[in-house]
Every structure is written in structure tokens, then in C-alpha cells.
Amino acid sequence: MSESQNNVVLSVKDLHVYFYTNQRCNKVLRGVSFDVKRGRTLCIVGESGCGKSVTANSILRLLPELSRIEEGSITYYKEDGTEIRLDQLEKNGKEMRAIRGQDIAIIFQDPMTALNPVFTVGYQIEEMLRQHKPGLSKEQYKKEAIEDLADMGIPAPDIRYGEYPHQFSGGMRQRSMIAMGMSCDPKILLADEPTTALDVTISAQIFDLMNDLKREHDTAIMMITHNMGVVAEMADEVAVMYMGNIVEYGPVEDIFTNPAHPYTKALLRSIPVLGKGKNQQLEPIRGSTPDPFNRPKGCQFCPRCDYACPRCEEEMPGEEWVKEGHYTRCFNYREVMADGK
């Protein structure tokens, strides 16, 4: 047990994040807990608006102005054993800025908006190095930036170093984003839908790259996606989110072969799987996701759920442990699991 404890680099406990707009409060995250482990990939999967990106942004304290971490904790375990409570640091304080990029890096979804169009790609990678490794000479910075680009498999990196983002293709932009993220050897890499804007052959390249990084540097990866295919391919652990809660968390095999939450199950049934042909039955999830300002009282999935019972309407189920390392938020999970996939 102590072995696995040591591997935890980031621990999120009972995180609540609320957004305040137009005198209304949107409870975006309503008690999210998970651990990110060294050399493992955690995939957070869910539909748009379920709070996936907010989770990543709250770890790096990049939340917008009118939002607040109301409850819960985000703890980062440094290699030397010290614990840092990220949620208690000042947003733009010295400590937070030192961690951001150095220890925890993020890759955003759309590389075109994440890169600054008026600076060269090389300069933008160097900026990271200047911030976190001060005191090197100009040539050394340049050399490192070119090496980072070369590591990401960008051809002719010394020429590309001096080019602007618009001269790069989508795949190369995303690779230079990863180069930037990886330039300081972070312990944790957050990837917020890193390949949604890319073609499949290019995203396959990006996934290979991320897996190499995980193997070689023992980086912990937390990847956010809405694509179940990507989850099956990349994840070691999966957290399924729905309306601000993790409704199911567990090892990837269990989630796919023996889902314990009705939402996970419905989600798996609603997507066409390659190689199964025209005979597969797609079962759409009935209804649509509720309005975040007018949520169901109890379980958020209750109005769309086949297993709903009167109790579900009244209270949100707690985390029920199916077995070690696999929990679900459902009162009737035994029934769900007994029905098979």
C-alpha cells in the first residue's frame, strides 16, 4: 500500500468549484476526488459541459475571475516528500507560478489559439525555459528549444525554431505545444482534449509521443477527452464524469467490460464501434443533459436512467466501492453490473 501511496503525485479530494454569473451560481464541480499516479495515464471522459476542463484548470489555478474553489483540496506531492496544497496558493503568486509549467504542465485543445501568433515558436518555447531555468546563455536556450522540437519529431527543427505558428500545420503546432509543455520535464502533464482538432493519423502520432514520454520520464498524464476510443487506447485508469461528478472511476478494463454506472453503460452502447459493422444496435441515451441552473435534486443522471428508483430522485449517491480501485456513484450498481455490458 505504501508503495502505491508513494506513486501518487497529485491528489484531488472532494473538489467543489462554483461559477457565478448573472447573479446565478453554477455548481460546476460538486465533489470530485481522484489521484494521479506517476507513470500512469488517467483519462477523464464525459460530454461537453460536464466539468472536465474545469477540473484541469482548477489544478493549475487557471479558473476565470468569477469562479471559486469552494471546498475540497488539491495536493501536489513533490519528489522530496513535501506536500503543497495548490488550492491554498495565491493564484498568481510566486509559488503557483513556479509550479505551473515547471512541475505541472498543460496542453490545450486548440493549438492555434494557445500559441501566440506574433512570436516565433522557438521564442515561445524559450520563454518557458527562461522562466524556470534562469541564468543560461542565449545560445543555450536556443539549443534546448531546438532539442525539444527535435524530440517531438519535428523535421528541420533549427529552421522551424525561427518560424511563426501560422507556418506550422495543425499536427506540428500541437507537437510544439507538447514540446513547450515538456521542456521543463514536468512531473504531471495535463492534456485537455489534445487531439480533438487533429486528424486521426496525426492524433495517432501525438498519442505515441505521449506514451513515449510516459515511459521515458515516468510522467503522470491526466488526459481529458470525450472520445471513448481514445480512452480505451491510452488510459490506465478512467474517470467518467457527468454534470460535475465523477460517476465512475476504475481501471480501464473494468470500465469497458463491466461498467458499474448506468451512464457509463449507456455511453458505451450509444457509440458505434469500428469493426462491428452495420448490425450493431446503437441505443441513444434518452433526453438530454439537464440545465446546470436547474438540476435534478438527487442523482444527476436520474431522469435519463433506466435503473432509477425513488431514492435516486431524492439524494445523490455516495461513492460505492465495487472493488479495490473501482467506485461508482449509484445505488443500484449491483443490478447494473449483473445485467452485463
Closest contact distance (angstroms) between CB of 204 and another protein is 4
Assess 282 for contact with another protein (CB under 8 A).
yes
Within 136-155, the residues that bind another protein by CB under 8 A are 155
* Binder of another protein out of 208, 212, 313, 315 (CB under 8 A): 208
Assess 88 for contact with another protein (CB under 8 A).
no
Closest contact distance (angstroms) between CB of 98 and another protein is 35
**Which of the ranges 91-99, 104-112, 176-184, 273-281 carries the binding residues for another protein, by CB under 8 A?**
273-281
For residue 18, list its beta bridge partners. Answer: 27, 68
- Residue 316's Cβ-count burial label (10 Å; 0-12, 13-18, 19+) is middle
All three cell numbers of 229: 476510443
Cβ neighbours of residue 146 under 8 Å, at least 6 residues apart? 122, 157, 158, 161
Assess 273 for contact with another protein (CB under 8 A).
yes
**Which of the ranges 22-30, 68-76, 184-192, 279-287 carries the binding residues for another protein, by CB under 8 A?**
279-287
Assess 207 for contact with another protein (CB under 8 A).
yes
Torsion of CA 267, 210, 41, 280, to 10 degrees: 20
Enclosing H/E stretch for 147: helix 138-151
Closest contact distance (angstroms) between CB of 94 and another protein is 40
Assess 218 for contact with another protein (CB under 8 A).
no
- Residue 48's Cβ-count burial label (10 Å; 0-12, 13-18, 19+) is exposed
Question: Residue 163's closest CA among 129, 124, 195, 209?
Answer: 124
Assess 169 for contact with another protein (CB under 8 A).
yes
d(CA 169, CA 159): 15
Assess 22 for contact with another protein (CB under 8 A).
no
Q: Residue 209 — φ and ψ, nearest 5°?
A: -60, -45
d(CA 70, CA 141): 40
Closest contact distance (angstroms) between CB of 243 and another protein is 13
- Whichever of 23 and 48 has its CB closer to another protein, that residue is 48
CB 337 within 8 A of CB 260: yes
Assess 180 for contact with another protein (CB under 8 A).
no
Number of residues in contact with another protein under rule CB under 8 A: 48
**Which of the ranges 23-31, 59-67, 129-137, 229-237 carries the binding residues for another protein, by CB under 8 A?**
229-237
Within 285-314, the residues that bind another protein by CB under 8 A are 285, 288-289
Assess 118 for contact with another protein (CB under 8 A).
no
CB 108 within 8 A of CB 177: yes
For residue 8, list its beta bridge partners. Answer: 37
Assess 256 for contact with another protein (CB under 8 A).
yes
- Whichever of 82 and 201 has its CB closer to another protein, that residue is 201
Assess 202 for contact with another protein (CB under 8 A).
yes
Enclosing H/E stretch for 21: strand 8-21
Assess 231 for contact with another protein (CB under 8 A).
yes
d(CA 328, CA 262): 10
Contact residues toward another protein (CB under 8 A) are: 47-48, 155, 169-172, 199-205, 207-208, 226-234, 252-253, 256-257, 266-268, 270-278, 280, 282-285, 288-289
